[in-house]
Structures are given as structure tokens and as C-alpha cells.
Amino acid sequence: MKYLLPTVFILLILALSSVLWAKVYITIDSPGRSRFPIAIPDLKNTGIIPDVRGYSKDLMKAVEKDLDLCGIFQIIDPKAFLEKEGAMERDKVNFQDWSAIGAEGLVKGGFALKEKEFALDLRIFDVIQGFQISVMSYRGALNNLREMGHRVANEIVRAFTGEKGFFGTRLAFISSVTGDKEIYIMDIDGENMRRVTFDRSIALSPVWSPDGTKLLYTSYKMKGPHLFVHDLNTGKEHVISQRPGLNIGAAWSPDGKRIACTLSYEGSSEIYILDENGGNPKQLTRTYGINVSPSWSPDGSRIAFVSDRGGSPQIYIMDADGKGVQRVTFSGKYNVSPAWSPRGDRIAYSGMRGEYFNIYSIALDGSDMIQLTEGDWNDEYPSWSPEGRYLAFSSTRDGHPELYLMSSNGIYVRRLTNTHSGVLCPAWSPK
Amino acid sequence: MMPEWRSVMKKLSLTILAVVLMVVVVGCPRPPTREMAEARSALESAKDAGAPTLAEEEFRSAEQMLAEATAYMDEKKYDDARNSALTSKKLSEIARDKALKRRAPGEAQAGEAGTAIGEAGAGVIPEQAVVTGKGSLGEGVTIKELEPVYFAFDDYTLSEEAKDILKINAEWLDKNKNVRVQIEGHCDERGSAEYNIALGERRAKSARNYMIQLGIDPSQLSTISYGKERPKDPGHNEEAWEKNRRDEFVVK
């Protein structure tokens, strides 16, 4: 009995230390966080073939560009580096040389060129503690170093924040650059923008299938708002719903088997669930009013949506069978475009206060409403990153609608497009 | 001094009570119990005439509209309920008439007469019509004789002015029974694309239901919503927004 208290005490210390060991260096969601200073010296060539063309520099430039995009890191200028010998092994790194210049994180690596291949041996260090927190090996094609750069950047983000980054994901969106609203996709860093639809009609509200291979969207190309699926691999399209009246605002369930959307073929605009081919309609709402913009919870058990049943457009949630309807927003006279966070605990939406729309985030029970953007312009159509720590949205803050990304607390905002043509309805790919 | 003060207070409270009562009586909408009853009995008449089988589509529309009216009654949305009840009654009458025609001897002629508005009417623009523009997807035309009606922000109810315009439009359509018109619902640019498509549809249906109440054959009127996608005025101010919150009548 007399050993009980000390035993418990020791166990507690052990438990605590195991928690401390999995250290999270940066929490993206915490407000007012200054950037984490990180040093990324040149990679060391550990192979036989000399890197005449500068592949390793290209790779690290791509990595740094990604790290800059997510707004967490401050990359220290290489001119400030003190350490001369480029040792990679943890016991050979002179951490004082790095902490002296203010670095808290350090990324080192060795590479080797093969005929068409690039091999990378990556080490990530915690400078303050002198720990090696990650060791990873990568192999990739020389002509696709961009993709390896994304994987490296994702790992660096994971090492310091506990969750991997969003590099390599894409945005689908609507652009009017041709004069008609068409669907485009691009990598999250703005590269590889390509046109998806050539309908010369009105395309709206693209959403991704959970496996990231298809887009579901609304189009007027068959003389009415109808729902279509576009296969990004084959380029083929087929119609999902062309019932009389509205067929709009669709969202794929997380398991890919159901599609929630708004149909009005039975009279008023209500939320329905269709199977993945657009059949077997199940009516969920029955208000004879306006019910639009369904957004699934990440576990597929509930749906957030917009309804005017209370007299003005507000956000509600309900079970996936239509029961248990609860109102979420009570502040403001016009709240639309709900987006359920992939973390499951919050809903982002666009709310009108006065003349303009800004992005808000709110807890599921309607508490803890946070205004994420502020200004006399329109911020609309929020879309979460797959891990739920960032939001893409469209904003007219620079005059006409372009796409932006921001951290989920609204603190870090970064512009993504520069099309001058009006870009809207961003949808962040699931992977 | 005291009794005088009391009598002033008494007068004041009576006045306040009278004002409150007036506001309540004038302000609170009367539940449309009469219109509901009439709609129900019109549906019954249509049923008796065999409309569920002889005029299935029209009967189903009438039934749907009555269900809508009932739902609005439950939610105490009395203006919407009255509107839907009136439309339902009209649709029931149309269904009943169609059913009776089909039962009567000489059904063949009745059938032909019934299709006069059907297929033959597609694509007929009367010669004397003055074309003022094109439909929102580039097909069909707007004509001077069918003027647009306008709406308040986030609203789909018809103002008295709108109703007057619809009465005039209805008169023209009544004189030109073989012309089919698509009512396009539009919104100003504020708010999400999706909410506005749904609102545009309500605006189009508002006008259609009213014109049905006025006696226009439902098959002459179809609806479509373009939400905020086809503004008349591309401006970003109240002036432009007012012009964009509208129903347009397009002759195809």
C-alpha cells in the first residue's frame, strides 16, 4: 500500500512523457502564431552521377514554394547559414550553428541520380532539442520532380504539425474566361490549370467524387438545370438527373454511393438522396419552400443544408434520413453555402451582414460562431482542404472574383488565381 | 387632481388598446379557410368527373397544389396558403372540364380540340408581335406584349403592380391561345448560385400560378429558372439589382 502513491506518480510521469514525445511543434489553428523558422540547406549528392542539370535544386525550390504556400513556415535565407560541412547523420549535425541563426526546424537530405530516376534520403530535425524527427526515402522519375516535391513538403508539414500538408491536391472551379461558365481544375498551387467542360452553356457547383476521379456538376446545356457526372480519366460525361424543374447543388456521400441534391420535380425545391446513378430518389425535406446546398458530414450520417423555412435562408443540419432537423445559424439574415469540415466538428458558410458576404465558421450546435473574413467585398463558396485545416473560397476583395486559400482560423490568407475573368465555386479535391 | 389623472390614464389605456386591436386586426392575415374549402370541394368534383384517370396530369397538379396549401396552413403561412388554394381550385376545374370532355360522346373531336394548344402551338410567334429581345439561352424571344414583372430582394410574392402586368399578359395569352410561353425566373447577383436558382424558380411559379388563377391554360405556360446567371444589368448596385429580380416571358 505504501508503494501505491509513488507507483501511480511514476506511471503518470511515464504517461505524460509519452504524450510529450509526440510533440506538435506548430498548431495551425492557433491564432496569432508567428511562422516557424526552418532551414533547408542544399541536398548532398551521395551518388556517382554529378547533378549538372540541377535537379536537386529544382526539387528543393518546389518544396520551398509549397512550404511558403501553406503559410506555416519562414524559410531562412541560405546566406545566413553557418554550418559548412553538410553532414546528414544526426550525430554529425552541429545544431548550435542552426539555432544560432534562429532555425527551429532543419531539413537535410542526400540524393543520387540514376538513369531516369531521382532517389532522395530525407532527414528532418528539431533544432532546439537536437532530435531527428523524421527519416524518409523517396524514389521518383526525373521528369516528375514536382510530384516528389509535394510528397516531401507534405512530410515536412506532417513532421512539425502532426498532419500532412495539402500539396498535390487540386481545386475544381468555375471560370467565365471564355464568356461562358465552364469547369476547370488546377493544382492547389495554381499550376496545371486545365479546362474540363466545353459545353458553352452555364456550368455550376462542381463537386469531387470521394475517390477524386469524377466531378458532379450542374449544367444548363440540355435546356434546364440538370446534374451531370464527368469522368476525369476518360473525359466522358453522363447525365445523373434531368427531372423536370431543378436538379442542382449535388454532393457525393463520403462512401461514394449516394448523391444528395435539390430536385423540384414534385413541386417545391427539396433535398433528395439519389443512388450513384441518379435513381431511387428519397425525399428528405418537405417544406414547400427552398431547400438547397446539401453538404455531408464526414461520417456520412448527417447533412447540412440551406432552408428558408424560418423566413430567410439559414443553415440547418439533419440526419441522412431527413429526421432530426436542427437549425444552426441564428445570426444574420442570409446564410448560405454550408461546408461541413472534414474534422466533423464545424461548418463553414457564407453569411451576409449589411451589404456583403463574408466567410464564417460555427460549431454544430450553433455556438462559437467565428467570422473568418472581414471586409466590404464578397467572400463566398467556402471549401475545406481534405485534412480540414484550410479553406478555399472565392473573393472579390481585389475587384473581381478570384480564388483564395486561408487557414481555418482566418489568419493566413493567400491568393491562388489571377484570371481577371471571374472564378467561383472552388471545390477542394479529396486527395 | 387625483381623479383627473386617473381618467386621463383610463382614456390613454383605452386608446392604446384600440390601436393595438386595430393593428392586430389589420396586420394579422386572415386564414384562408374559405379558399381551402373551395379548393377541396373543387378537387372532389374533379375526382367525381373521373379526372384521376381522364386528366391525370392536371389532377395531379391540382392535388399537389392543395397539399402545398395545406402545408402552408399548418405553418400559418396564410398568404402562401391562399395563393396555392386558389391555384389548386383552378387546376381542379381544368382537370374536371378535361375529364368531362373526354367522357362526352364525340370524344374524338374533344380530343382534337384539347391538343390545339398541345403540339401545334410550339414555336408560333404571332406576326404582329414586336420582338424586344432573346431568351436567356439565346433561343426564343421576348415580345413587347408580354412585359416582365419585378420582385423585392429574397422575395417571390407578387406586388399589386406585378399582378396588374400579369393580368395584361394573361389577356394577350388568352387572345393567342396557340402561343406557348416559358416564364424565366431571375435573381440579382447577391447570394449563392444555388439558392438563387431555387428562388428564381419560385418567382417563375408565382407568376404561372397567378396566371392559372386568371384562367390561362397551364399547358400554355412553362417555367425555368436561371438564378442569377443571366442578369439584365451587369451593374453591382441597387439600380442594377432591381432590374435583375424579374420574371421574363419568352415565346419559343
- Which residue segment(s) compose the domain that B136 sits in? 131-251
Q: Over 70: is that where the pLDDT of B117 sits?
A: no
Instruction: Report residue A87's pLDDT band, with 50, 70 and 90 as the boundaries.
Output: confident
At A259, which helix (H) or strand (E)? strand A258-263
Q: Over 90: is that where the pLDDT of A16 sits?
A: no
Cβ of B198 and A336 within 8 Å? no
Q: B145 and B187, same structural domain?
A: yes
Number of domains in chain B: 2
Residue B140's closest chain A neighbor by CA? Answer: A223
Q: Which residues of B touch A223 (CB under 8 A)?
A: 137, 224
Q: B149 and B226, same structural domain?
A: yes
Mean pLDDT over A205-226 rounds to 97
A407 pairs with which residues across the strands? A390
Residue boundaries of the structural domains of chain A: 26-161, 170-428
Q: Are A151 and A168 in contact (CB under 8 A)?
A: yes
Overall pTM surpassing 0.95 (yes/no): no
Give the integer Cα–Cα distance in Å for A362 and A359: 10
Q: Over 90: is that where the pLDDT of B236 sits?
A: yes
The pLDDT assigned to A15 comes to: 57
Q: B186 and B97, same structural domain?
A: no
Q: Point out the least confidently predicted range of A142-146, B8-12, B149-153, B245-249.
A: B8-12
Q: Is residue B43 part of a domain?
A: yes
Q: Over 80: is that where the pLDDT of B134 sits?
A: yes
The pLDDT assigned to A83 comes to: 80
Q: For the domain that residue B187 is a member of, what is the CATH number?
A: 3.30.1330.60
The pLDDT assigned to A14 comes to: 60
pLDDT tens column, A404-430: 999 999 999 999 999 888 899 999 999
CATH superfamily of A170-428: TolB, C-terminal domain (2.120.10.30)
Q: Where are the beta strands (DSSP E) in A266-372?
A: 270-275, 282-283, 291-296, 302-307, 314-319, 326-327, 335-340, 346-353, 356-363, 370-371
Q: Over 70: is that where the pLDDT of B133 sits?
A: yes
The pLDDT assigned to A89 comes to: 79
Cβ of B194 and A204 within 8 Å? yes
Q: B146 and B95, same structural domain?
A: no
Closest CA to B102 of B165, B51, B44: B51
Residue A419: what residue type? Answer: T
Which of B65, B75, B193 is opposite residue A425, by nearest beta carbon? B193
The pLDDT assigned to A5 comes to: 75
Q: Which residue has the higher pLDDT, A163 or A306?
A: A306
Cβ of B68 and A181 within 8 Å? no
Q: B102 and B142, same structural domain?
A: no
Q: How far apart are the first and last CA of chain A?
A: 54
C-alpha grid cell, residue A233: 480519366
| Most B CBs within 10 Å, among A223, A265, A290, A396, to test the B interface | A290
Q: What are phi and psi of B59, to 5 degrees?
A: -65, -40
The pLDDT assigned to A268 comes to: 92
Q: Over 70: is that where the pLDDT of A116 sits?
A: yes
Contacts with A368 (C-beta within 8 Å, 6 or more apart), sequence order: A362
Angle between helices B160-175 and B193-213 (to 10 degrees): 60
Query: Which ipTM value was assigned to this complex?
Result: 0.89
The pLDDT assigned to A22 comes to: 54
Order of strands, sheet of A282-283, starting from the edge strand that comes earlier in the sequence? A247-252, A258-263, A270-275, A282-283
For residue A412, is it left (φ>0), alpha (ψ between -120 and 50) or beta?
beta
Q: Over 70: is that where the pLDDT of A32 sits?
A: no
Q: Are A176 and A197 in contact (CB under 8 A)?
A: no
Q: What are phi and psi of A83, to 5 degrees?
A: -65, 125
Q: B141 and B231, same structural domain?
A: yes
Residue A100 CB coordination number (10 Å)? 13
Give the integer Cα–Cα distance in Å for B109 and B119: 16
Cβ of A204 and B137 within 8 Å? no
Q: Over 60: is that where the pLDDT of B113 sits?
A: no
pLDDT tens column, B26-68: 666 789 999 999 999 999 999 999 999 999 989 999 999 999 9
Mean pLDDT over B61-83 rounds to 92
Q: What are phi and psi of A343, to 5 degrees?
A: -85, -10
Q: B159 and B95, same structural domain?
A: no
Which of B65, B197, B202 is opposite residue A248, by nearest beta carbon? B197
Instruction: Report residue B115's pLDDT band, with 50, 70 and 90 as the boundaries.
Output: very low
The CA distances from residue A347 to A73, A308, A325, A372, B177, in Å, are 27, 18, 15, 12, 51
Q: B220 and B138, same structural domain?
A: yes
Instruction: Report residue B110's pLDDT band, with 50, 70 and 90 as the boundaries.
Output: very low
The pLDDT assigned to B27 comes to: 64
The pLDDT assigned to B4 comes to: 78
Q: B180 and B93, same structural domain?
A: no
Angle between helices B78-103 and B56-74 (to 10 degrees): 160
Instruction: Report residue B167's pLDDT band, with 50, 70 and 90 as the boundaries.
Output: very high
Q: Which residues of A touch B225 (CB under 8 A)?
A: 225, 246
For residue A2, is it left (φ>0), alpha (ψ between -120 and 50) or beta?
alpha
Give A251→chain B minimum CA distance, Å: 12
Q: Is residue B215 part of a domain?
A: yes
Cβ of B191 and A264 within 8 Å? no
Q: Over 70: is that where the pLDDT of A57 sits?
A: yes
Give the integer Cα–Cα distance in Å for A201 and A104: 52
Give the integer Cα–Cα distance in Å for A35 and A25: 11
Is domain A26-161 in CATH 3.40.50.10070, yes or no? yes
Q: Over 90: is that where the pLDDT of B3 sits?
A: no
Q: B162 and B62, same structural domain?
A: no
C-alpha grid cell, residue A159: 513532421
- Residues 277-306 (A) with a CB less than 8 A from some CB of B: 286-288, 290-293, 306
Q: Is residue B52 part of a domain?
A: yes
Q: Is residue B125 part of a domain?
A: no
Instruction: Report residue B5's pLDDT band, with 50, 70 and 90 as the boundaries.
Output: confident
C-alpha grid cell, residue B212: 392559372
pLDDT tens column, B218-227: 999 999 999 9
Mean pLDDT over A331-341 rounds to 97
The pLDDT assigned to A17 comes to: 53
Cβ of B229 and A181 within 8 Å? yes
Q: Is residue B205 part of a domain?
A: yes
Q: Which residues of B touch A283 (CB under 8 A)?
A: none
Q: Which residue has the higher pLDDT, A384 or B28?
A: A384
Q: Is residue B26 part of a domain?
A: no
Q: Over 90: is that where the pLDDT of A377 sits?
A: yes
Last residue of a domain, one of B80, B115, B150: B115
The pLDDT assigned to B235 comes to: 94
Q: Which residue has the higher pLDDT, B90 or A20?
A: B90
Q: Over 90: is that where the pLDDT of A12 sits?
A: no
Q: What is the DSSP string of A387-418?
A: TSSEEEEEE-TTSS-EEEEEETTS--EEE---
Q: Would you call A175 an interface residue with chain B, using a CB distance cutoff of 8 Å?
A: no
